[in-house]
Amino acid sequence: MKLEIDQQRLNSEIETLAAISDAEPPAVTRIVFTPTDLKARAWVISLCKEAGLAVCQDAFGNIFARWNGSDSAAPAVGTGSHIDAIPNAGKYDGVVGVLGGLEAIRALHRSGFRPRHSIELLIFATEEPTRFGIGCLGSRLLSGTLSAEAAAKLKDRDGETVDEVRRKAGFNGNLQDVKLPKGYYRGFVELHIEQGPLLERARISLGIVKSIAAPASLRISIEGAGGHAGGVLMPDRKDALCAAAELILAIEDAARSSGALDTVATVGVCDVFPGAVNSIPSRVRITLDIRDTDLTRRDGAMQTIEAASQKIEAKRQVSIQSEVLNADAPADCAPEVRAALSDSCREHGFPFLEMVSRAYHDSLFLSRIAPTGMLFIPCRNGYSHRPDEYATPEDIARGALVLAEALAKLAGSSQ
């Protein structure tokens, strides 16, 4: 089987999709279910149809484009990613996995390969949390990680529910039906830009992901006592911001001392009430994002933070409440998918790095229902989610080639 990726065509398709945007080029803004997103989806669907794939969409707007195998009743092999983009993003996040996945399928087709298991391109709806505050909604529903009832009630900033928004976009089916039946995929591979600097630093063009880190996010409220900045003397204070400051450092320390570099914790929001120069802060709200590749270690760090929080409460006589917004478990990638990717790299003599995905992706949720793997390509300076995000056409094409071969290995030949 001699595979050739049409690098020029793939690159020009990436440029065309980038132009379907609500931001001035080179920035890309494509919020899910906006007219712009619907236009982009329609264009990608037309490409899939042109490639001879059978296209259908579920009640949430996940798009399936299938190349039927000779054993069409057998579980399929899937690949894909997302085309929604956060405000002021770049051209490559998600898109490389969608258009690269499509080109991988076209290349297999051109080579004369005929799969035994069907090969399916899956374009996930709502990977980015921009609109509904939670990421990977499409894959959470597909995997049953989030129930249809819970998803339907989520609201966007304008107060419109997921259910209202998706119906307006033309998706009227039953959300309960989005969950994929067990054994639907025999393997799933997502091609993606690394969104970090390691491949570029190592001057290696391919990364095979061994595990996907997952975050827990918490909202923490600290209640102290307010008062006049001149009138209340230091021994009498219950300053909520000073307590928050101690807690933030305890959070940093818990991540640093977990025993592994994979533990990372971030406090990215700090709201101070009442927020006046001459008023003692009475209430502070912070957020915590804590990630790891190992659930036990992440839970351990969270317990350390909880213990610190109790100490600070007692010492400073404040009350600290935390609410878990979301706690996804990390995932290990499937050995058979990793092997399909690494075999292809070895056959070509392409060096690759085995690595951890520090961002999380739809693949994290797909891994709950199917053997899943990810293939990374470098992005310049590790930049992502910004207009100067960049991956070279050569790296994208190499990724698509290795993806195509892995899909072929997983799908088997009908001959």
Q: Which residues in the 84-113 window bind Zn ion by CB under 5 A?
A: 93-94
Q: Which residues in the 310-339 window bind Zn ion by CB under 5 A?
A: none
Write down the least CB distance from residue 81 to Zn ion, Å.
6
Please give the Cα distance from 197 to 181 (Å, whole number): 37
Q: Is 362 in the site for Zn ion (CB under 5 A)?
A: no
Closest CA to 111 of 360, 398, 325, 408: 408
Please give the Cα distance from 220 to 203 (Å, whole number): 41
Element housing 325 (H / E):
strand 319-327
113 vs 124, beta carbon nearer Zn ion: 124
258 vs 384, beta carbon nearer Zn ion: 384
Using Cβ positions, the residue closest to Zn ion within the complex turns out to be 94
The single residue listed with the structure tokens 């209340």 is 232
Positive or negative: CA dihedral 146, 149, 151, 154: negative
End-to-end CA distance of the chain: 12
121 vs 243, beta carbon nearer Zn ion: 121
Write down the least CB distance from residue 384 to Zn ion, Å.
8
Write down the least CB distance from residue 344 to Zn ion, Å.
22
Please give the Cα distance from 7 to 266 (Å, whole number): 39
Write down the least CB distance from residue 98 to Zn ion, Å.
10
Q: Where are the alpha helices (DSSP H) in 257-359?
A: 295-316, 335-348
Site mask for Zn ion (CB under 5 A), range 160-179, x = bound: --------------------
37 vs 93, beta carbon nearer Zn ion: 93
13 vs 84, beta carbon nearer Zn ion: 84
Write down the least CB distance from residue 192 to Zn ion, Å.
6
Site mask for Zn ion (CB under 5 A), range 45-84, x = bound: ----------------------------------------
Write down the least CB distance from residue 5 to Zn ion, Å.
21
Please give the Cα distance from 183 to 61 (Å, whole number): 21
97 vs 115, beta carbon nearer Zn ion: 97
Omega before residue 330 within 30° of 0, cis: no
What is the identity of the amino acid at 35? P
217 vs 384, beta carbon nearer Zn ion: 384
Write down the least CB distance from residue 24 to Zn ion, Å.
22
Write down the least CB distance from residue 365 to Zn ion, Å.
13
Angle of CA points 244, 249, 250, to nearest 5°: 95
Buried b (16+ CB within 10 A) or exposed e, 187-215: bbbbbbbbbbebbbeeebbbbbbbbbbbb
Which residues share a beta bridge with 376?
192, 207
Write down the least CB distance from residue 193 to Zn ion, Å.
8
94 vs 224, beta carbon nearer Zn ion: 94
Which residues share a beta bridge with 292?
214
Please give the Cα distance from 217 to 223 (Å, whole number): 20
94 vs 101, beta carbon nearer Zn ion: 94
Q: Where are the alpha helices (DSSP H) in 317-392?
A: 335-348, 362-366
- Report the interface residues with Zn ion, using CB under 5 A: 93-94
